[in-house]
Amino acid sequence: MRAAVIFGLGCSPKRRKPFQEKSSIRQIVWQIGMPASAGEADAVLLFGGDGTVHRHLSGLVKVGLPVLVVPTGSGNDFARALGLRSVRDALVAWRRFCAGNGSVRAIDLGVIKAPQTASIVQDDKVSRAPELELDHYFCTVAGVGLDCEVARRANTLPRFLRGHGGYALSVVSTVFRFVPIKMKILASDGQEWFVRSDRPTMLAAFANTPLYGDGMKIAPDAQMDDGQLDVCVIGGIDPFKLFCMFPTVYFGRHLKIDGVEYFRAHRVRVEAEQPVDLYADGEYVCRTPVEVGIQPAALKVIVP
């Protein structure tokens, strides 16, 4: 058996040691880095958090190999959604996979289609796409509005603080300064577009998984294999009221609050009076206008 290993930023190669020991009676040949094709490996182990997964999604989709996400990042919402809440969970799933009785699941990925003039971040480099649109994958949640500013602030914090309440801390420092954005969100059922929201908006999240922001259930009903986005739109709520409702998001109870709209769609289109940032998996991707959709069964993952 051949295993390819990808390490996130700041992740020590020593993290691999438990996965090399007693993994199975079968011999495993290890290689470092993304395989160029499916013929070079049988599985990929990715050590990192949501940002690391995000940066490698294009390559992972291309090779089509089963992927085990080992949650060693500052934010591990994607791994949580897969039932991998700790390195130990990942180790158990890996040993079962190596023994031939593991579970591999095909899941959807979100896809962001940026307009021709958008700035794109791909492989940590910002570039322009003057002639072609670019499909950019994400695994958890893409969003515009308040959560983008929170993600930007959280990304500037030290790594340890990011992994221990940094997102919540950034919310506190941002919510009273943020001004609602006049935004239009159109949804498609696969054939026609229709307006779902056209108002000042604090936050709009387009979810493939229930969780983001280090455990916040922004889309509690989201499933990774239903071929749809779960969309949560929070209107121009008073900042103090928004601050008070913030803890409810960790339990998915915010959907009952006035000013919060929740629906599903195959695709959405986001337009704003002035271009605003769109983040996905906690990483900057591009600016509006954009289209966000789903690619069904795009990624194979090893799960408990």
Q: How far apart are CA 16 and CA 18, in angstroms?
A: 6
How many other C-beta atoms can be found within 10 angstroms of the C-beta atom of residue 299?
A: 21
What is the reported pLDDT for 278? Answer: 95
Q: What is the pLDDT of residues 227-249, one digit of tens each?
A: 999 999 999 888 888 888 888 88
Place of tokens 């958890």: 140
Give Dmax (Cα) for the chain.
60
CB 79 within 8 A of CB 303: no
**Over residues 247-261, mean pLDDT:** 89
What is the reported pLDDT for 119? Answer: 45
What is the reported pLDDT for 132? Answer: 39
**Over residues 189-218, mean pLDDT:** 90
What is the reported pLDDT for 264? Answer: 95
Least confident of 116-120, 147-151, 171-175, 276-280: 116-120
Identify which has the larger pLDDT, 145 or 164: 145
What is the reported pLDDT for 11? Answer: 80
What is the reported pLDDT for 279? Answer: 94
**Over residues 274-291, mean pLDDT:** 93
What is the reported pLDDT for 9? Answer: 82
Residue 133 has pLDDT above 80, yes or no: no
Q: What is the pLDDT of residues 48-84, one digit of tens each?
A: 999 999 999 999 999 999 999 999 988 899 999 999 9
What is the reported pLDDT for 134? Answer: 60
Q: Where in the chain is the domain with CATH 3.40.50.10330?
A: 2-103
CA dihedral sign of residues 89, 75, 297, 249:
positive
Q: How far apart are CA 13 and CA 6, in angstroms?
A: 9
**CATH superfamily entry for domain 2-103:** Probable inorganic polyphosphate/atp-NAD kinase; domain 1 (3.40.50.10330)
For residue 54, give the amino acid letter: H
Q: Where in the chain is the domain with CATH 2.60.200.40?
A: 109-297
What is the reported pLDDT for 165? Answer: 62
For strands 67-71 and 125-128, give the pairing. Answer: unpaired
Q: How far apart are CA 16 and CA 133, in angstroms?
A: 38
What is the reported pLDDT for 167? Answer: 62
- What does the mean pLDDT of the chain come to? 86
Could you say which of 2.60.120.200, 2.60.200.40, 1.10.150.120, 1.10.10.10 is the CATH number of the domain covering 109-297? 2.60.200.40
What is the reported pLDDT for 244? Answer: 82
